Amino acid sequence: MEKSLGEIRLHATDSAINGMLRRKSDSAVSYRRHFNQSEDFFLQLGQDFEVPSFAIHHDIYRTEPAADYLKTLRVFIGRLQQMIPGVFEGLTYYFDPAEVLRPGFFQLYRVAGEYYLYLLKLDLVFRPQTHVVVHRGSNDVTPVYRTANLITEANLVPLREVVRHEDKPQSFLIDQLISDTWIGETGRGYFVQGIWIDTDLNKFFSRLVTPAGKRIYPYYPFTSKYRTICHNPIGMEPAARRAAVPTLHRMRKFLVPHLNEIQTVLREKEFSPELPLFQEIKAGVPAEWMQFLESFSLDVYLNDDEMREFEVNDKQESV
């Protein structure tokens, strides 16, 4: 799946993997939801699992996965699907030539005649601090490693059109609502870094529906991605995904009239709940929308490596 100029293009899928995802499984490993110190979201499974070795090098212009890659991925996804079937239920696998170590899955939803795309990515990149090596890798292949934590990223993305070929989705045109969020650079020489306002937009959008005094960091339910307003659903089971779609739909409709002014203000000032514009817009948020995060909470703890992590200990409600 390729992302370019507001288009997410579906290059290739795999019928064998999709067939596995359609099968029901009675066995399941319980999992808990966490964020690590780097703000990555992960599922902590009830037992360790092995991540196999993959080839590191791939030509991003080759839009079909290599046969060896698919063979290995099929076995791995099959094992995961048996462990956490609800996470994959209803999804379709897609191959992204730019991110071979982040296999992706998608599902289309529709509300009030408008399409929303659910994107799930698994992050299989080896992390020395948290993963246990089973077989060493090389310059050409990743190591086989063991872990109980599956790093994932899920996003609901609003679409303006679904392009089909022979009644099958071929590409998804994003409803881009946000202008270029780059505002400059900081640092000198090798230490130059770009400055974007996406993080401030994440805080602005998310704090609109956060009850007073509630701490939700590092979770941002509404985010600026793909130059639009996305929703990061914390629930990954089918019912939770479906409930998240009208939540994003209502929030998107509410924010659209304010987006230009919000971006103008954040280009000049960092986000603060004391910003007059934020207070003005928040005053117009329906009171019942605050229930969205009413039951959401995080427990902060130190893991075995004395690194800070956060555990989600409650279920979200939909707006």
Instruction: Report the alpha-carbon distance of residue 252 to residue 262 in Å, rounded.
Output: 14
Calculate mean pLDDT across residues 108-124.
Answer: 97
What are the residue boundaries of the structural domains of the chain, listed by start?
1-175, 177-296
Q: 243: which 2 tokens? A: 């409930």
- pLDDT of 25 strictly over 80: no
Positive or negative torsion for Cα 31, 74, 65, 12: negative
Q: Which of 36-50, 129-143, 170-184, 264-278 shows the lowest mean pLDDT across its residues?
A: 170-184
Per-residue pLDDT at 180: 73
Q: What percent of the chain has pLDDT over 70?
A: 90
Instruction: Report the alpha-carbon distance of residue 79 to residue 85 in Å, rounded.
Output: 10
Residue found under tokens 């609901």: 156
Per-residue pLDDT at 27: 61
- pLDDT of 59 strictly over 60: yes
Per-residue pLDDT at 103: 96
Per-residue pLDDT at 315: 58
Confidence class of residue 220 from pLDDT cuts 50, 70 and 90?
very high
- Please give the distance of CA 191 from its chain centroid, rounded to a whole number: 28
User: Is the backbone of residue 227 left (phi > 0), alpha (psi -120 to 50) or beta?
Assistant: left
Per-residue pLDDT at 316: 53
What confidence tens digit (pLDDT) does each residue in 27-39 have? 656 799 999 999 9
- Quickly count: other Cβ atoms within 10 Å of residue 126's Cβ: 17
Instruction: Report the alpha-carbon distance of residue 139 to residue 56 in Å, rounded.
Output: 8
Q: In this structure, what are the phi and psi dihedrals at residue 181, rounded to the nearest 5 degrees? A: -90, 0
Calculate mean pLDDT across residues 129-153.
Answer: 95
Mapping DSSP onto H, E and C, the string for the chain reads CEEECCEEECCECCHHHHHHHHCCCCCCCCEEEEECCCCCEEEEEEEEEEECCCECCCCCCCCCCCHHHHHHHHHHHHHHHHHCHHHHCCCEEEECCCCCCCCEEEEEEEECCEEEEEEEEEECCCCCCCCEEEECCCCCECCEEEEEEEEEEEEEEEEEEEEEECCEEEEEEECCCCCCCEEEEECCHHHCEEEECHHHHHHHHHHCCCCCCCCCCCCCCEEEECCEEEECCCCCCHHHHHHHHHHHHHHHHHHHHHHHHHHHHHHHCCCCCCCHHHHHHHCCCCHHHHHHHCCCCEEEEECCCCCEEEEECCCCCCC
Confidence class of residue 191 from pLDDT cuts 50, 70 and 90?
very low
Per-residue pLDDT at 195: 54
What confidence tens digit (pLDDT) does each residue in 223-276 have? 999 999 999 999 999 999 999 999 999 999 999 999 999 999 999 999 999 999
Q: Which of 10-14, 83-87, 196-200, 284-288 shows the lowest mean pLDDT across its residues?
A: 196-200
